Amino acid sequence: MEKKNIDWASIGFGYMPTDKRYVSLYKDGAWDQGALVDDPNIVLNECACVLQYAQTCFEGLKAYTTEDGRTVCFRPDLNAERMYDTAKRLEMPPFPKDRFVEAVKQVIKANEAWVPPYGSGATLYLRPYMFGSNAVIGVKPADEYQFRILTTPVGPYFKGGVKPITLCVSDFDRAAPHGTGHIKAGLNYAMSLHPIVEAHKAGFDENMYLDAATRTKVEETGGANFLFVTKDNKVVTPKSNSILPSITRRSLMVVAKEYLGLEVEEREVYFDEVKDFAECGLCGTAAVISPVGKIVDHGKEICFPSGMTEMGPTISKLRDTLTGIQMGKIEGPEGWIVEI
Ligand code: PLP
Ligand code: COI
């Protein structure tokens, strides 16, 4: 497969239209058979439910070229499952999980020339998404929906690649205790736009959100879960019903335990304990695992011993092992790698 002539190493996390996208339409109570299409644009009624009441959700996963030239993707069954759960919470008709995985395979195959070469530092990002498309004016779910998958080659999510980043503790809440923080609803990201613009203006890379009820516990950032490493090398991740169950985080906990032989703990993490950790990272499909060097809480700085120039040793091992599995250098647990 001849790859597109792109300077892969210099691309950031942006949108670049590729050759094909997948579309399936829901009407009269059923999903149609779906197809790959060329047009990246969508024509919608002015009163479409997604435009008026934000009835939309999405997923994110990546396709990789392995060292021996195969094209693979990572745990698409878990994205299928999470989107299924999200759709139910948003009163949308869930897209069947087996068809989701099939559509992922089809759209990667059709855009194989856009899957960046092994070792380039870039990957093909897949964005499955779904929205209510027919006109509604009273507040109620739509009757018609589109399920789509777009693909775009991407580089690192944070500028500077794998250099440690700086977070600020946000005064805004990301999710309510019985709200939608645990699903991938577009509305969660709409609410994060103002806080992220403010954080960037103040010179920070991202926000750390605390739990809305008590503002004492660590939740997550706008687009990634937290992983901490204790001074005695235990991997700790916050447990909460209002954070997104990150597939990367769940995978890294398995990597930490099964591949690196580390003790792992998923539990409530109080903000007061953060200063005692040795390393901190943000994990997600886009973020992979990005090291955090510093967290600023209203002017008070927490500086991790791993510093602002290098990734800490444990986060670095976790990252190498996970990306090694994703790129076919290390044998992954059964079912993690799906060949296209
Ligand atoms: N948390 C939020 C709010 C996210 O948007 C994402 C991205 O998908 C994640 C965590 C990481 O999840 P995953 O590892 O499944 O990509
Ligand atoms: C992902 O990691 O796939 C996400 O959806 C996060 C998003 C903020 C880019």
- How far is ligand 1, taken at its centre, from the CA of residue 138, in Å? 32
- pLDDT of residue 158 exceeding 90: no
- How far is ligand 2, taken at its centre, from the CA of residue 316, in Å? 21
Cβ neighbour number for residue 213 with a 10 Å cutoff = 12
Residue 245: per-residue pLDDT: 98
Answer whether 284 contacts ligand 1 (Cβ < 6 A): yes
User: Using CA atoms, how far apart are residues 248 and 128, in angstroms rounded to an integer?
Assistant: 17
Answer whether 247 contacts ligand 1 (Cβ < 6 A): yes
- pLDDT of residue 276 exceeding 90: yes
- Which of 219, 225, 289 is the pocket-test mutation for ligand 1 (most atoms within 8 Å of CB)? 225
Residue 94: per-residue pLDDT: 98
Closest atom of ligand 2 to 58 CA is 5
- Structural domains in the chain, CATH included, are 8-154 (3.30.470.10), 165-325 (3.20.10.10)
Q: Are 5 and 20 in contact (CB under 8 A)?
A: no
User: Using CA atoms, how far apart are residues 111 and 103, in angstroms rounded to an integer?
Assistant: 12
Residue 1: per-residue pLDDT: 74
Q: Are 57 and 186 in contact (CB under 8 A)?
A: yes
The overall average pLDDT reported for the chain is 97
> In the predicted model, what is the mean pLDDT of residues 15-20?
97
For residue 125, name the pLDDT band (cuts at 50, 70, 90): very high
- pLDDT of residue 161 exceeding 80: no
User: Distance between alpha carbon 68 and the CA centroid of its chain, in Å?
Assistant: 26
- The residue whose CA is least distant from atom 6 of ligand 2 is 223
For residue 119, name the pLDDT band (cuts at 50, 70, 90): very high
- pLDDT of residue 160 exceeding 80: no
Cβ neighbour number for residue 184 with a 10 Å cutoff = 24
Residue 59: per-residue pLDDT: 98
Lowest mean pLDDT among 83-92, 150-159, 251-260: 150-159
- How far is ligand 1, taken at its centre, from the CA of residue 179, in Å? 17
- pLDDT of residue 23 exceeding 90: yes
Write the pLDDT tens digit of every residue in 56-65.
Answer: 999 999 999 9
pTM to 2 decimal places:
0.97
- How far is ligand 1, taken at its centre, from the CA of residue 234, in Å? 22
Closest atom of ligand 2 to 222 CA is 8
Residue 52: per-residue pLDDT: 98
**Catalytic residue status for 257:** no
